[in-house]
Amino acid sequence: MLILGIDPGSWHAGFGVVEQHGSTLRAIEHGRISCRRGATLPERLAHLSLELGALLARTKPDAAAVEAPFHGRNTRSLIVLAEARGALLATLATGGVSTREYSPAEVKSAVTGNGRAEKTQVSRMVRLLLALPSAALSNDTTDALAVAICCAQRWKFELRVGGRQA
Amino acid sequence: MLILGIDPGSWHAGFGVVEQHGSTLRAIEHGRISCRRGATLPERLAHLSLELGALLARTKPDAAAVEAPFHGRNTRSLIVLAEARGALLATLATGGVSTREYSPAEVKSAVTGNGRAEKTQVSRMVRLLLALPSAALSNDTTDALAVAICCAQRWKFELRVGGRQA
């Protein structure tokens, strides 16, 4: 079972592909898609979509997971983030990958046991659960891996109760 | 000069292709892309993106225009609308079509001379300017044609002052 976690953004999108094998989790590939400086919004959305399409073709995940939009931001950044999410969700569905959505609290709870955990604690637990070296991982990469871990943990439960889709 | 106007939405997206020839405007093709009932958000975004891609391939517009997001809505509908915009903007840029963005007031002003015009007045002027029969056009189709007309009118001026891109 291969799960792709994505942390959307309109300049950088983090991604992490996690393999679940029984109770074992393993990071297969992780990183971030970055857009070139000075690119317009449509150019960035097209670049994110294109790079995600290549990632899907290469890794062939069984499912994808993203964090639900967080409402506490200012309206302008909320809109741009939603535009990036939209381009990425369209690409996932075009690639035939079913996508699940989890709230920030669900992700934190799945990774640390505490829905209100600090970012540094989430990042530490992601490295621990996936046995990743402590080398610098960008925040969007650990966030993407965290949502993939959340999806992996919830998978069987969600199948049993009928699943929720973004 | 062919301009494609789009009125984004996550269930229906209006579109209108307008040809500008000197001071003459002509509607080449217009309508709406609709998603099937019960489709998930990612499925709808993928459908909108696919259908828009087919429209670009068929009509080959020189530029596209969309309305800037309107901030007065509730947050949930703002996010879903932005997700649809994101999927459509990515598709336009992937298709190599440069996209311009206009505020609702700019569009109304271009079509009626009044930035605070009523919807019915905008719709009436769109039919008049494009010599369209009074047969029922959906609101999202007339909105898409209105933004295409706005883009056509602003084109030369924007080229002169250096253009604005979404």
Nearest beta carbon to residue A90 from set B45, B99, B166: B45
A151 near A3, Cβ under 8 Å?
yes
Predicted pLDDT at B1: 86
| Min Cα separation B126/chain A (Å) | 27
Chain B CA closest to residue A165: B40
pLDDT digits (tens, 9 = 90+) for A20-68: 887 788 999 999 999 999 999 999 999 999 999 999 999 999 999 998 8
Segments of chain B with pLDDT less than 70:
71-72, 156-166
Q: Please, which pLDDT band fits residue A166 given cuts at 50, 70 and 90?
A: very low
Sign of CA dihedral A50, A53, A58, A59: positive
Nearest beta carbon to residue B90 from set A49, A81, A99: A49
First to last CA, chain A: 19
pLDDT digits (tens, 9 = 90+) for A85-143: 999 999 999 999 999 999 999 999 999 999 999 999 999 999 999 989 877 789 999 99
Nearest CA-CA partner of A150 in A130, A131, A132: A130
Active site residues per annotation of B:
7, 67, 140
Q: What does residue A24 show for φ and ψ, rounded to 5 degrees?
A: -95, 135
Sign of CA dihedral B137, B18, B111, B51: positive
Structure tokens at B48: 């909108």
Predicted pLDDT at B166: 47
What whole-number distance in Å separates Cα of residue A27 and Cα of residue A71?
Answer: 30
Predicted pLDDT at A67: 87
